Structure 1
Amino acid sequence: MTAPLVPSAPRRHAPQPTAPLRLGLLLYPGCMPAGLFAAADMARAAGLRAQRPVVQTLWVGADLQPVPTWQGPSLTPTVALAAADLDAVLVPGLWLSSTDGLAAQLQPLAPAVQALAALPRRTQLWSYCAGVLLAAASGRLRGRGATATWWLRAALEQQYSAVHWRFDEPLVQDGAATTAAGANGYLPLMLHALGERLAPEALADLQALLMLPRPRTTHPAFAGHDLMATADADLRRAMLWVQRSPANELRLPALADALGLSPRTLARRVQAHTGLSAAHWMRRIKLRQVSEALCDTPQPLKRIAEDLGFASEAGLHRAFRQATGQTPLAYRMAHGGA
């Protein structure tokens, strides 16, 4: 869940409000729709931050039949591409395990390719990763500069030689065609589009909240206490149990019982993997949650202590300072966001 996107200060030199960009999110058989959902989230967030409609998204397809996505659910377009009256269409990637026989792999996608080819010339065509294949097959990239994922280079240059391929560039705009490389190519595409429609400070907020990865730096006291960094399956289950339990109710016998292990066995496993006693390890996990709350929320320490089940604010303050060498306030100022 992200923080509300609201203006923090009056904007200067902001773009004049215009009619929202009508962006079609193209569904086709076997597409990987994660980028479409992310683009829709970014469009909505841009509108909230700007306090005006910026991008209107529509789910489109060659027709209105349900579309099976790659290893995902079937999704139903809300409007056919030919009837959508769009400013731009976003073509997501598809799963390709090989570039052998591209023509055969594109054959089931012929209705979507034909619908793209029939779009008015004024309609912008955005595509990324292997979705650039559909754009090239539609003829909309002929005579234009374009990029795509690097490992498609040989196949694309051979099959679509009329395209001016520029594989050394992550994003290429040439007229009404904009292409991006990589499975996350929707990010530069959306950033490029929103950069023309948002004030610089609004775009920076959007990047910080939705586009940029969370900083990976962590205090040494909490290093190694990350769920994804823990290889032992039982310890991952234990971490989840600890994270979900109030701090003042953490007991080794209760945790061992939840895992189906004896307390002695669990204590040995924790010591072997972390170098800490089980009680110390559990406290560190809860204090790591405190550190994240300090950095990611404006909540006062009293509220954080209540939410995480510490016996008192004063007790949490002492434990946190003992673990990190910093008071919670100093830690928030040093490691927190804006």
Structure 2
Amino acid sequence: MTSSRPDTVTSSEPPTAAAGRRAPARKGKDGRGNPYPYLFYVPAGIVYTVVFLVPTIMAFYFSMTRWTLFDSTFVGLENFTDFFAEQNLRIGFQNTLIYAVTTSGLKVVLGMALGVVLTSRLKMRGFLRSVVFFPVLVSTVAVGITFSVLLKPDTGLVNKALALVGISGPDWLGDANTALLSVALVDVWKGVGLATVIYIAGMMSIPRDYYQAVAVDGGSAWHRFRYVTLPLSWPATNSVIILSFIGGLRSFDLIWTMTRGGPGFTSDVIASIIYKQYQAGFFGLSTAGNVILFIVVTALVVPLTRFLSAREVAA
């Protein structure tokens, strides 16, 4: 008599082998799986192509043409040679670099100082944070018009306030020696709030254990700033420098509102020279100027970013 057993289907593979046949997860450069399919990148890619790549390619093309709204004539590199022959170009390049370095440097110093103060146990620090950030929300044109009135030599409140303490204020925007610096200080006043917010975010992410360790070792407030806050807030410093420097190189609206490049051409920057070419109807020439400005900004910012990133890794 034979015993009957239900037939069982056996597999030569262990149970884990079948599970291992699943499609492997996509891996990034760090070796970890990518949780998102590449299809998710398509919308961002389309927006980037339409908003950035296509206008950039068109700008490079039209910079080599003499164009109007309805037609264009290819002229090669003639627009670039004419732009470099512009008599005020040297002053524009010089002022652009001075303006960018001055504004970015002051925003770093003042933003870090305000960040330290506004992350302390100061009373009403929430209100003070709002006050510091408020100028960022105001229109740049409105700020320029307001300070143009405040800095007038005879009727401006700035010179009137200086007169109360016996100081004769200069013509801030009408003097070639003070015009560009005056606009740069207004730019710092308007933009330091954003730098402060970046620093506040960076400083609040620093673990408190580091400060406690310095306190245990008998360190003062200076030691906490020098050995903890300053090096560990370097990512914030990196961001502020890059954003402020790019903004300074591209700055136009505040300078044009307050001085229009004057007196004479002493406060002209690259962007204001380009705009004057647009006003004169030289569209191809001004487009070539925009391409040159794009190349200059890229040539300065890319190595600066690499340098600052290397410092960040070392820190």
Is TM (by shorter chain) over 0.5? Answer: no
* TM-score of the two chains, using structure 1 as the length reference: 0.23
Return the structure number with greater relative CO, CA threshold 8 A, min gap 6.
2
Name which one, 1 or 2, has greater alpha-carbon Rg.
2
More strand by share: 1
